[in-house]
Amino acid sequence: MGDTDVDFFLETLKQLIVSPKVESIRKEKHQLKSLEEEIKYMRGFLKVTEKKRNKHSEVMNLVRHIKDVVSEAENTIELFVVQAFKECVKKMFETHQDHLSLALESVKKEIKTLKAEVKKIYDENMYDVNGVASKKLEQSFSKTEGIGTFFQYFNIQ
Protein backbone atom coordinates (compact mmCIF):
# COMPACT_ATOMS: atom_id res chain seq x y z
CA MET A 1 0.00 0.00 0.00
CA GLY A 2 1.37 3.38 -0.98
CA ASP A 3 0.71 6.81 0.48
CA THR A 4 -1.87 7.53 -2.23
CA ASP A 5 -3.66 4.31 -1.27
CA VAL A 6 -3.97 5.68 2.27
CA ASP A 7 -5.44 8.88 0.82
CA PHE A 8 -7.87 6.85 -1.28
CA PHE A 9 -8.95 4.85 1.77
CA LEU A 10 -9.50 8.08 3.71
CA GLU A 11 -11.72 9.31 0.88
CA THR A 12 -13.66 6.04 0.95
CA LEU A 13 -14.19 6.40 4.70
CA LYS A 14 -15.33 9.98 4.22
CA GLN A 15 -17.91 8.88 1.65
CA LEU A 16 -19.22 6.16 3.95
CA ILE A 17 -19.52 8.66 6.80
CA VAL A 18 -21.16 11.42 4.77
CA SER A 19 -23.76 9.40 2.93
CA PRO A 20 -24.34 5.96 4.39
CA LYS A 21 -27.08 4.37 2.29
CA VAL A 22 -27.43 1.17 4.27
CA GLU A 23 -28.67 0.99 7.86
CA SER A 24 -25.84 -1.31 9.01
CA ILE A 25 -23.30 1.23 7.76
CA ARG A 26 -25.24 4.13 9.29
CA LYS A 27 -25.14 2.38 12.67
CA GLU A 28 -21.33 2.25 12.48
CA LYS A 29 -20.91 5.92 11.52
CA HIS A 30 -19.28 6.78 14.86
CA GLN A 31 -16.69 4.02 14.49
CA LEU A 32 -16.00 5.00 10.89
CA LYS A 33 -15.53 8.67 11.85
CA SER A 34 -13.18 7.75 14.69
CA LEU A 35 -11.18 5.45 12.42
CA GLU A 36 -10.97 8.23 9.84
CA GLU A 37 -9.47 10.60 12.45
CA GLU A 38 -6.88 8.04 13.55
CA ILE A 39 -5.89 7.24 9.96
CA LYS A 40 -5.58 10.99 9.26
CA TYR A 41 -3.12 11.21 12.15
CA MET A 42 -1.08 8.34 10.73
CA ARG A 43 -1.28 9.92 7.26
CA GLY A 44 0.21 13.09 8.74
CA PHE A 45 3.17 11.06 9.99
CA LEU A 46 3.58 9.52 6.53
CA LYS A 47 3.70 13.00 5.00
CA VAL A 48 6.16 14.33 7.59
CA THR A 49 8.53 11.39 7.08
CA GLU A 50 8.14 11.05 3.32
CA LYS A 51 11.61 12.33 2.44
CA LYS A 52 13.38 10.91 5.51
CA ARG A 53 12.04 7.34 5.60
CA ASN A 54 14.92 5.73 3.80
CA LYS A 55 17.47 7.21 6.20
CA HIS A 56 16.26 5.34 9.28
CA SER A 57 15.23 1.70 9.35
CA GLU A 58 13.03 2.27 12.41
CA VAL A 59 11.00 4.88 10.55
CA MET A 60 10.82 2.67 7.45
CA ASN A 61 9.55 -0.22 9.57
CA LEU A 62 6.98 1.97 11.30
CA VAL A 63 5.79 3.34 7.94
CA ARG A 64 5.48 -0.19 6.60
CA HIS A 65 3.56 -1.25 9.70
CA ILE A 66 1.22 1.77 9.40
CA LYS A 67 0.50 0.88 5.78
CA ASP A 68 -0.15 -2.76 6.72
CA VAL A 69 -2.62 -1.75 9.43
CA VAL A 70 -4.37 0.70 7.10
CA SER A 71 -4.59 -2.08 4.52
CA GLU A 72 -6.10 -4.38 7.16
CA ALA A 73 -8.61 -1.67 8.10
CA GLU A 74 -9.46 -1.16 4.44
CA ASN A 75 -10.04 -4.89 3.94
CA THR A 76 -12.21 -5.03 7.06
CA ILE A 77 -14.29 -2.05 5.89
CA GLU A 78 -14.66 -3.46 2.37
CA LEU A 79 -15.82 -6.82 3.72
CA PHE A 80 -18.25 -5.09 6.07
CA VAL A 81 -19.68 -2.95 3.24
CA VAL A 82 -20.16 -5.99 1.02
CA GLN A 83 -21.88 -7.84 3.88
CA ALA A 84 -24.02 -4.78 4.63
CA PHE A 85 -25.20 -4.55 1.05
CA LYS A 86 -25.88 -8.28 0.98
CA GLU A 87 -27.89 -7.85 4.16
CA CYS A 88 -29.79 -4.99 2.55
CA VAL A 89 -30.68 -7.12 -0.47
CA LYS A 90 -31.61 -10.00 1.80
CA LYS A 91 -33.85 -7.67 3.80
CA MET A 92 -35.76 -6.80 0.66
CA PHE A 93 -36.70 -10.47 0.31
CA GLU A 94 -37.08 -11.47 3.95
CA THR A 95 -38.53 -9.99 7.08
CA HIS A 96 -35.78 -11.39 9.33
CA GLN A 97 -32.47 -9.51 9.35
CA ASP A 98 -29.21 -10.56 10.98
CA HIS A 99 -27.42 -7.60 12.49
CA LEU A 100 -23.87 -6.90 11.45
CA SER A 101 -21.22 -5.22 13.52
CA LEU A 102 -17.96 -3.75 12.36
CA ALA A 103 -15.09 -5.83 13.77
CA LEU A 104 -12.12 -3.49 14.08
CA GLU A 105 -10.67 -4.77 17.35
CA SER A 106 -7.33 -5.92 15.94
CA VAL A 107 -6.98 -2.76 13.87
CA LYS A 108 -7.69 -0.61 16.95
CA LYS A 109 -4.97 -2.38 18.93
CA GLU A 110 -2.45 -1.94 16.12
CA ILE A 111 -3.34 1.75 15.71
CA LYS A 112 -2.89 2.32 19.44
CA THR A 113 0.60 0.80 19.28
CA LEU A 114 1.52 2.72 16.14
CA LYS A 115 0.21 5.98 17.54
CA ALA A 116 2.41 5.56 20.62
CA GLU A 117 5.46 4.95 18.40
CA VAL A 118 4.66 7.97 16.22
CA LYS A 119 4.13 10.16 19.30
CA LYS A 120 7.46 9.02 20.76
CA ILE A 121 9.24 9.89 17.51
CA TYR A 122 7.59 13.31 17.49
CA ASP A 123 8.11 13.99 21.21
CA GLU A 124 11.76 12.96 21.19
CA ASN A 125 12.41 14.49 17.75
CA MET A 126 13.93 11.19 16.67
CA TYR A 127 15.24 10.43 13.18
CA ASP A 128 15.22 14.08 12.13
CA VAL A 129 11.42 14.08 12.15
CA ASN A 130 10.24 17.59 12.86
CA GLY A 131 8.19 17.79 16.04
CA VAL A 132 6.80 21.14 14.93
CA ALA A 133 4.86 19.35 12.21
CA SER A 134 3.40 17.02 14.81
CA LYS A 135 2.23 19.96 16.94
CA LYS A 136 0.50 21.51 13.92
CA LEU A 137 -1.03 18.14 13.13
CA GLU A 138 -2.27 17.69 16.69
CA GLN A 139 -3.69 21.23 16.73
CA SER A 140 -5.55 20.63 13.49
CA PHE A 141 -7.01 17.40 14.88
CA SER A 142 -7.91 18.94 18.22
CA LYS A 143 -10.22 21.30 16.31
CA THR A 144 -11.93 18.34 14.70
CA GLU A 145 -14.91 16.91 16.50
CA GLY A 146 -14.33 13.36 17.61
CA ILE A 147 -10.52 13.32 17.83
CA GLY A 148 -9.46 10.53 20.06
CA THR A 149 -12.95 9.15 20.22
CA PHE A 150 -11.85 6.05 18.38
CA PHE A 151 -10.18 4.80 21.54
CA GLN A 152 -12.59 6.47 23.95
CA TYR A 153 -15.54 4.82 22.23
CA PHE A 154 -14.02 1.42 22.77
CA ASN A 155 -12.61 2.27 26.20
CA ILE A 156 -9.02 1.63 25.14
CA GLN A 157 -6.46 3.24 27.44
CA diameter of the chain: 59
Neighbour count for residue 93 (Cβ, 10 Å)? 6
Measured distance CA(90)–CA(148) in Å, rounded: 35
| Count of the separate structural domains present in the chain | 1
Whole-model pTM? 0.62
Q: What is the pLDDT of residue 95?
A: 53
Q: What is the pLDDT of residue 144?
A: 43
In terms of phi and psi (left: phi > 0; alpha: psi -120 to 50; beta: otherwise), the region of 111 is alpha
Question: Residue 95's domain spans which residues?
Answer: 3-153
The Cα angle at residue 30 between residues 40 and 136, in degrees rounded to 5: 25
Q: Print the SS3 string covering 100-125.
A: CCCCCHHHHHHHHHHHHHHHHHHHCC
pLDDT tens across the length of the chain (157 residues): 678 899 999 999 999 998 777 888 888 999 999 999 999 999 999 999 988 888 889 999 999 999 999 999 999 999 999 998 888 777 766 655 556 677 888 888 999 999 998 888 888 888 777 655 555 555 555 444 443 443 444 343 3
